Amino acid sequence: MIFFINATMPKQKSGIEHAQLKRMALFNLYKTDVRLILRDWDPVAHINTNLAGVSDKQLINMFDYFQGATEVEAKHLQATDLQFGQPNLQFQEDAEHNRYLVTNQLGRLIARVNYDSTDAQRVRSTELFDVFNNLYRVNHYDSRGFLSLAQWYTPDNKVGTETWLTPDGRTVLETFNKQNARGELKKSGWRLTDQQGKIHVFDTIDELTLHFYDCLNDDFWSAQSPNIFVLDRAHLGDWALLHLKRPAYTVLHLHNSQVSDAQDPVNSMVNNHYEFGLANKDQYNAIISATHRQQADVKQRFAPKAELFTIPVGIVDPALLAVTPIPVAQRTFGKMVVFARIAWEKNLVDLVKAVALAHKEIPAVTLDIYGYADPSNDYQARRAVEAVIAEEHLENVVTLKGYTTDVGAVENDAMMYGLTSKMEGFNLAILEAISHGLISFTYDVNYGPNEIVQNGVNGAIVPYGDYQALASKMIDVLKNPQLAQAYSDGAYASAERYSSETVWQAWQKLLASAQAEWSQRVITTIPAES
């Protein structure tokens, strides 16, 4: 079996989630069985994964696994379906806070029932109160309609014990929160009761995660082919995958730059997300980079014994490659778009500055920014973008559009795509842009944009940090309709490099290597005949 490891599948997805979903679609297209592994507890994981096209049969959440809830028939749980052990209770709706207040015959508050206002008041949680009106327990319900997690509160109103239950109400997993020497409430251990009634105790969630991976490795064990664990988020298994009880083929997938400064890959500090993995690089079977340049840099600096593979994380849908190109003349002249989190590393301030310069020369130039804002440092990145907008008087030129899933409609109308990131791991958004015929402008930034964009073919690459040069290239294209159309045509054509067939061929090399390694392992472990 092939496992792709992540934390969860949020509604607002980052590049890693989008990459995993595209990869799963690719493996399904070529009828190769895979599983999406989610390590973190998430009561709406099944809603989000199903909406993203992943069936419950292809999803294994660690908590679901231990709760015996990987596949559960869903029911829509509402407040009146709950039992509180008392008769004649009153349910008073508090619509402003998306909840019901539950009181007994004496008017005493028994519980608050919190519901999802966007899902026909589906119960999300209940807060339970004792006779002294103290909160003593919060029950969290899975979106499929069963009590999943119960949090028991201490007298000082802190979560003391947490218990996870099976759909029929049996406790199978517990964790205990206690104060450390600094007075911080931290998890002090995990207790698991497995399906056979055997009790396992773990000090950390990493140890619990290792046990989970061992269980998966056992469940899908085959002497004919290896289980392949692809680690898409390093912290979810960088230690655990190196301590499996039974052999497997383990893969470290680099989704971002392996160093803190991608423009100085030889001398800069190692990216803390990959520090453990790269320090133990020789214990992995393979390391995947999304671009040839990153693979070369990893090889030069770290010289790993693990086999190195370059596999793009982006895949252009066959239907998109087959569409009739939209001519530049039918697009909104001067409209540039970008799909990116408003975050420090995306450096959108420089893109706004470039647009400001281009707009002074060609007033039709506008920029629409699609993506949610990073809340770090009180939304510092967004505030910096807004400050440049105000300083350059671009209120009617640059628009923060927020998150959207309707990418195709936006990009079929726009003319240009801009990118001024400080670092990238691949950048799915710019691949999506060229596949819709957008003319792309980017810094020469590692990794991805400077390979996806081909200078003079589908857009322009300018020196890193030179937003004036970026603006100049935009102006050149906008003043030359023939050049604009040539770049748009080049964008459509260059997307073929990331077709399903091409990316699948790259994955087949890894799968073949895993099989060859496994066959050799099996051969060397079969006792010789006497």
In a domain? residue 506: no
How many Å apart are CA 12 and CA 17, to the nearest integer?
Answer: 9
- CA nearest 60: which of 21, 23, 8, 15? 8
Residues 368 and 490 occupy one common structural domain = yes
Task: Let me know whether 225 and 284 are in one domain.
Answer: yes
Axis-axis angle for helices 428-435, 481-494 (nearest 10): 110
109 and 197 in a single domain? The answer is yes
What is the 3 state secondary structure string of 81-110? HCCCCCCCCEEEEEHHHCEEEEECCCCCEE
pLDDT tens per residue, range 238-296? 999 999 999 999 999 999 999 999 999 999 999 999 999 999 999 999 999 999 999 99
Would you say residue 502 lies in a domain? no
Least confident window among 1-5, 35-39, 138-142, 260-264 = 260-264
Q: How many domains does the chain have?
A: 3
- Indicate if 36 and 13 belong to the same structural domain: yes
d(CA 56, CA 46): 7
Per the CB < 8 A criterion, the answer to whether 454 and 490 are in contact is yes
56/124 same-domain check: no
Could you list the residue range(s) of the whole structural domain that residue 197 is in?
79-206
54 and 25 both lie in a single domain: yes
pLDDT tens, residue by residue, 197-233: 999 999 999 999 999 999 999 999 999 999 999 999 9
Are 224 and 303 in a shared domain?
A: yes
Joined together, the tokens standing for residue 27 give 């493996």
Does the pLDDT value for residue 529 go beyond 50? Answer: no
pLDDT over threshold 80, residue 524: no
